[in-house]
Structure 1
Amino acid sequence: MAKVIPGRQTAEIEGPFVVFIIGVRINKWLSVGQWLPVVQAMPPMLKELYANKELGFLDAAYFMSARGPSIVQYWRSYDQLERYARGGEHHLKAWKDFNRKARTGQAVGIYHETYLIENGACESIYVNMPATGLGRAGKLTPVGAGSETSRERAGLGRRGEEGGSRSTE
């Protein structure tokens, strides 16, 4: 079990980075033969990424909804993410298999969203949590002067600047 870090922490990460969210939606639960291979394709890809950090992959966090799993991935750059999508050994096979099977029915769907954080501006708070999400991809630091509010952590300044109001976690 991951060690809980007491108190309030925020994540720091140097330079630009990419947040990539990918998920599976199981539309027909009884069509196990169509959706199970899609779900099973992700672990080998993640194993490949964790074993080859030079590819630009930083970390991933898993989430489960009522309709299937989603994964939030953190990447150093969009170019590295795209290079893996087009050339990663496990990804190309999974991509081709899914596209072939997707034509045969609608039992399973996939989605992805990609967010490019060019200026490093992001906001996070972790209270009595182990390193999680961006806190694992980057590094955790204690919340202190200049990072007490959500606005400050996002690099937007103090209350009243840029027309905003005070925001907390």
Structure 2
Amino acid sequence: MAQQIFAGRHTADLGRDTITVFLIGMRPNRWWKIAKVSRVAAAMPRMLQHLATDPDAGMLGYEQWFGRTTMLLSYWESPEHLRRFAADKESPHLAPWRRFMKELSGTGDVGIWHETYQVPATGIETVYNGMPLFGLAKATAHAPLGARNNTAKQRMGRAPGPKVP
């Protein structure tokens, strides 16, 4: 199915004071151990499905890329939402993480990485030109550029718009 392309320039309207950005990925280091790599990779779709069906979990949206080093970029309500999901015994994260730590951590067969950023809305500048809904605008609100937010300087340092439900 073709995605709608938005002509012209748009930006993200966060509707909040801060956003939590979480990057996570994996890197197979020993291709001949593909079964182990596959077990690690297979856990992520279940986690994303769970998060997509539970808005109270706090994940606002994500984008992902595949390659030698895979990457998932996700946007969250807060670091507390992210930590609560990671530690929740009922979520599909804790058991695969414990299994990875027991079976693969320290072996070098598969690398796992993540980074978390708590970013104030006034420290964010976004622009999308001729793009489908993407990134932060897809996770929050997509807004056309106008006289008040036309330049990067105008967008950077702006207070957030109305709260996004």
Shorter-chain TM-score bucket reads 0.7 to 0.9
Alignment of 1:1-169 (within 5 A): 1-15=2-16, 16-65=18-67, 67-87=68-88, 89-103=91-105, 105-155=107-157
The answer to whether the 8 Å contact 1:24/1:70 transfers is yes
Give the Cα separation in 2 of the matches to 1:107 and 1:140: 40
8 A Cα contact 1:14 1:120, kept in partner: no
Q: How far is the alpha carbon of 1:146 from its aligned partner? A: 2.5
Q: Distance in 2 between matches of 1:68 and 1:120?
A: 31
2: CA distance, partners of 1:154 / 1:103? 40
Partners of 2:117 and 2:10 in 1: how far apart?
23
Separation in 2, partners of 1:142, 1:154 = 15
RMSD after superposition: 1.5
Query: What TM-score does the superposition give when structure 1 sets the normalisation length?
Result: 0.86
Higher relative contact order (CA 8 A, sep 6+): 2
Which amino acid in the other structure matches residue 152 of structure 1?
A: Q
Question: In 2, distance between residues paired with 1:31 and 1:153?
Answer: 47
Cα 1:148–1:121 shift into 2, 3 Å:
same
Offset, 1:104: 6.5
Determine helix, strand or coil for the equivalent of 1:31.
helix
* Structure 1 residue ranges (4+ consecutive) displaced by more than 4 angstroms after TM superposition: none
- Segments of 5+ residues of structure 2 without an aligned counterpart are 159-165
Residue type of the alignment partner of 1:126: Y
Q: Distance in 2 between matches of 1:5 and 1:103?
A: 44
Task: Report the TM-score when normalising by structure 2.
Answer: 0.88
Q: Residue deviations 1:139-167, cap 9 Å, x none? A: 111111132222221127xxxxxxxxxxx
The structural deviation recorded for 1:28 is 1.2
**Partners of 1:13 and 1:120 within 8 A in 2:** no
Contact 1:34 1:101 in 2 (8 A): no
CA distance in 1, matches of 2:66, 2:92: 22
User: How many residues end up aligned between the 2 structures?
Assistant: 155
**Residue deviations 1:7-63 (CA, integer Å, cap 9, x gap):** 110001122220000000111112101111111110000000000011111111001
Distance 1:47 1:18 in 2: 20
